[in-house]
Amino acid sequence: MRVALGLDGVLLDFDGAWHGFAEDVVGRNLSKVAETHNNGLRYGLSPEETDRVWKQFDTHDNWASIRLTSSAYRLVVGLESIGFSVFGVSAVPVHLCEARAESLEGLIPAGRIYCVGSLRGKDGPDKTEALRRISPVGFLDDHPLFVEQGLGLGIPVVSWYDNELYPDVHVEDISGAAVIDDPLDFLEVIRKVAR
């Protein structure tokens, strides 16, 4: 049986990496000023500063250096121990898939990582086709849009990891998904399928 996991925010500490990089680019300490998914707004950057950070951040080396979250190893190994093959689905462009594999440090084999686009693109990314190809029995993501895409495919177990970066999204807005506040809770949610 297969499960699919979003990478940034679930297995990888994208926020920590982007925050530190942004401080280096703008030359000052940045504090979180807003709970929002928009990185620039979260740290009080102007649109120009945000664009400058993104232009410099979007390299293989930066994406490859994003560290695993503290729960990543326990989540993937836990899923594997109850019989699941774990796949990763990332919203980064395809040319950065190798960097995603490097950042995961072998936790998920490169052949099981799907990269589908960029959140900063005109229409945004769509994980639907990757999820269709993977055909998982479970899917966990921290982005409400992707959770809704998983629900739309009829994946039996879909969970939204509410990391509080989407203050305008409420539990009732994601009907049909199990809402969790710790990625490790997905182990209990998905365990029902493994029985």
17-41 confidence digits (pLDDT tens): 999 999 999 999 999 998 888 899 9
CB burial of 153-167 (b: ≥16 within 10 Å; e: otherwise) equals: bebebbbbbbbebbe
Each residue of 63-103: pLDDT tens digit? 999 999 999 999 999 999 999 999 999 988 888 999 999 99
Tell which CATH classification among 1.10.3720.10, 3.30.200.20, 3.40.640.10, 3.40.50.1000 matches the domain 2-13+68-194: 3.40.50.1000
Identify the residue whose tokens are 């462009």: 93
- State how far the Cα of 1 lies from the Cα of 14, in Å rounded to an integer: 28
| Helix, coil or strand: residue 14 | helix
Domain definitions of the chain by residue range: 2-13+68-194, 14-64
Written as one string, the DSSP assignment of 112-138 is GEEE---TTSSS----HHHHHHH--SE
CA nearest to 34, candidates 195, 183, 167: 167
Average pLDDT over residues 172-177: 78
Q: What is the pLDDT of residue 170?
A: 67
17 φψ region: left (φ > 0), alpha (ψ -120 to 50), beta (else): alpha
Each residue of 122-145: pLDDT tens digit? 455 789 999 999 999 999 999 888
Which DSSP helix (H) or strand (E) runs through 167?
none
Over the chain, what is the mean pLDDT? 90
* DSSP structure class, residue 40: H
Q: What is the pLDDT of residue 162?
A: 86
- State how far the Cα of 22 lies from the Cα of 43, in Å rounded to an integer: 9
Q: Name the CA radius of gyration of the chain, rounded.
A: 16
Query: Is the model's pLDDT at 174 over the cut of 80?
Result: no
